Amino acid sequence: MIVDYMPEVERLFAEAPDRFEKYVRSIPVIGGLFFPESINEAKERLCRALRAYAWFEKTRPRDAWPWPRNLEEYEDLTSRGGLSHIAALFIASLTGRDYAFDEHPSFDDFARGVLASPHAPDVLKQDKELLELYPPRHLPGLGSFLSWDPVR
Protein backbone atom coordinates (compact mmCIF):
# COMPACT_ATOMS: atom_id res chain seq x y z
CA MET A 1 0.00 0.00 0.00
CA ILE A 2 1.45 3.35 -1.04
CA VAL A 3 0.71 6.10 1.43
CA ASP A 4 0.10 9.60 0.11
CA TYR A 5 2.50 11.86 1.99
CA MET A 6 1.64 14.96 -0.06
CA PRO A 7 -0.75 16.45 2.55
CA GLU A 8 2.01 16.19 5.17
CA VAL A 9 4.54 17.62 2.71
CA GLU A 10 2.24 20.55 1.91
CA ARG A 11 1.80 21.23 5.63
CA LEU A 12 5.57 21.10 6.27
CA PHE A 13 6.29 23.54 3.43
CA ALA A 14 3.44 25.85 4.51
CA GLU A 15 4.87 26.01 8.06
CA ALA A 16 8.56 26.24 7.09
CA PRO A 17 10.28 29.17 8.82
CA ASP A 18 11.84 30.34 5.55
CA ARG A 19 8.68 29.96 3.43
CA PHE A 20 8.68 33.66 2.50
CA GLU A 21 12.33 33.81 1.40
CA LYS A 22 12.55 35.14 -2.11
CA TYR A 23 15.66 33.40 -3.47
CA VAL A 24 16.58 30.19 -1.66
CA ARG A 25 14.75 28.00 0.85
CA SER A 26 15.50 24.75 2.65
CA ILE A 27 13.55 21.50 2.32
CA PRO A 28 11.77 20.74 5.60
CA VAL A 29 12.89 17.67 7.57
CA ILE A 30 15.63 16.52 5.16
CA GLY A 31 17.43 19.80 4.50
CA GLY A 32 19.01 20.82 1.26
CA LEU A 33 18.38 24.07 -0.55
CA PHE A 34 16.05 24.80 -3.45
CA PHE A 35 14.94 27.79 -5.46
CA PRO A 36 11.28 28.76 -5.02
CA GLU A 37 10.63 28.12 -8.72
CA SER A 38 11.63 24.45 -8.19
CA ILE A 39 9.38 23.88 -5.18
CA ASN A 40 7.52 20.99 -6.84
CA GLU A 41 10.76 19.01 -7.20
CA ALA A 42 11.62 19.77 -3.57
CA LYS A 43 8.18 18.55 -2.47
CA GLU A 44 8.57 15.34 -4.47
CA ARG A 45 11.98 14.73 -2.88
CA LEU A 46 10.50 15.15 0.59
CA CYS A 47 7.66 12.75 -0.34
CA ARG A 48 10.22 10.13 -1.38
CA ALA A 49 12.12 10.69 1.86
CA LEU A 50 9.01 10.27 4.02
CA ARG A 51 8.14 7.03 2.19
CA ALA A 52 11.69 5.76 2.78
CA TYR A 53 11.49 6.72 6.49
CA ALA A 54 8.25 4.74 6.87
CA TRP A 55 9.66 1.77 4.94
CA PHE A 56 12.81 1.74 7.08
CA GLU A 57 10.76 1.79 10.28
CA LYS A 58 8.91 -1.33 9.12
CA THR A 59 11.94 -3.21 7.78
CA ARG A 60 14.92 -2.18 9.90
CA PRO A 61 16.55 -4.74 12.15
CA ARG A 62 14.93 -4.76 15.57
CA ASP A 63 18.09 -3.49 17.25
CA ALA A 64 18.87 -0.76 14.71
CA TRP A 65 18.16 2.83 15.60
CA PRO A 66 15.43 4.78 13.77
CA TRP A 67 16.31 6.91 10.77
CA PRO A 68 18.22 9.98 11.97
CA ARG A 69 16.43 13.26 11.25
CA ASN A 70 19.48 15.50 11.26
CA LEU A 71 23.26 15.46 10.93
CA GLU A 72 23.84 15.26 14.69
CA GLU A 73 21.70 12.12 15.00
CA TYR A 74 23.46 10.60 11.98
CA GLU A 75 26.90 11.29 13.46
CA ASP A 76 25.72 9.80 16.77
CA LEU A 77 24.78 6.57 14.96
CA THR A 78 28.17 6.27 13.26
CA SER A 79 29.99 6.89 16.55
CA ARG A 80 28.14 4.02 18.26
CA GLY A 81 29.72 1.40 16.01
CA GLY A 82 28.20 -1.99 15.37
CA LEU A 83 24.72 -2.29 13.93
CA SER A 84 24.03 1.43 14.39
CA HIS A 85 27.02 2.31 12.26
CA ILE A 86 25.87 -0.01 9.46
CA ALA A 87 22.34 1.43 9.74
CA ALA A 88 23.79 4.93 9.31
CA LEU A 89 25.75 3.81 6.23
CA PHE A 90 22.62 2.17 4.82
CA ILE A 91 20.59 5.34 5.35
CA ALA A 92 23.30 7.47 3.75
CA SER A 93 23.36 5.09 0.79
CA LEU A 94 19.57 5.29 0.39
CA THR A 95 19.70 9.06 0.64
CA GLY A 96 22.37 9.14 -2.05
CA ARG A 97 20.08 7.06 -4.27
CA ASP A 98 17.33 9.67 -3.77
CA TYR A 99 15.44 7.43 -1.31
CA ALA A 100 14.71 4.73 -3.93
CA PHE A 101 14.39 1.94 -1.37
CA ASP A 102 12.65 -0.32 -3.87
CA GLU A 103 15.78 -0.28 -6.07
CA HIS A 104 18.34 -0.55 -3.26
CA PRO A 105 19.77 -3.77 -1.79
CA SER A 106 18.08 -4.96 1.39
CA PHE A 107 19.58 -4.09 4.74
CA ASP A 108 20.88 -7.67 5.12
CA ASP A 109 22.57 -7.67 1.70
CA PHE A 110 23.99 -4.20 2.33
CA ALA A 111 25.35 -5.12 5.78
CA ARG A 112 26.98 -8.26 4.39
CA GLY A 113 28.51 -6.19 1.60
CA VAL A 114 29.87 -3.60 4.02
CA LEU A 115 31.49 -6.31 6.14
CA ALA A 116 33.09 -7.81 3.02
CA SER A 117 34.37 -4.46 1.77
CA PRO A 118 38.07 -3.61 2.08
CA HIS A 119 36.90 -0.03 2.78
CA ALA A 120 34.91 -0.91 5.91
CA PRO A 121 36.35 0.31 9.20
CA ASP A 122 38.19 -2.39 11.15
CA VAL A 123 35.88 -1.84 14.12
CA LEU A 124 33.02 -3.21 11.99
CA LYS A 125 35.00 -6.00 10.33
CA GLN A 126 36.20 -7.25 13.72
CA ASP A 127 32.77 -7.17 15.40
CA LYS A 128 32.04 -10.86 16.05
CA GLU A 129 28.31 -10.27 16.63
CA LEU A 130 27.95 -8.43 13.31
CA LEU A 131 29.93 -11.08 11.46
CA GLU A 132 27.64 -13.76 12.86
CA LEU A 133 24.47 -11.84 11.96
CA TYR A 134 25.71 -10.72 8.54
CA PRO A 135 28.33 -13.09 7.11
CA PRO A 136 30.43 -11.02 4.69
CA ARG A 137 29.53 -11.31 1.03
CA HIS A 138 30.66 -9.10 -1.83
CA LEU A 139 28.01 -6.60 -2.96
CA PRO A 140 28.49 -5.41 -6.55
CA GLY A 141 28.13 -1.64 -6.72
CA LEU A 142 29.26 -0.95 -3.15
CA GLY A 143 31.85 1.79 -3.48
CA SER A 144 34.79 3.00 -1.45
CA PHE A 145 32.53 5.30 0.58
CA LEU A 146 30.33 2.29 1.46
CA SER A 147 27.46 3.64 -0.57
CA TRP A 148 25.69 1.53 -3.17
CA ASP A 149 25.57 2.59 -6.78
CA PRO A 150 24.27 -0.03 -9.20
CA VAL A 151 26.73 -1.48 -11.63
CA ARG A 152 26.00 -0.20 -15.08
78-91 pLDDT, tens per residue? 888 889 899 999 99
pLDDT of amino acid 77: 81
Q: Is residue 55 part of a domain?
A: no
Q: Is residue 146 part of a domain?
A: yes
What is the arithmetic mean of pLDDT over 118-140? 96
User: What is the span of the domain harbouring residue 69?
Assistant: 60-152
Rounded to whole angstroms, the Cα distance separating 130 from 116 reads 12
pTM for this model (two decimals): 0.85
Q: How many independent structural domains does the chain possess? A: 2
Residues 138 and 67 in one domain: yes
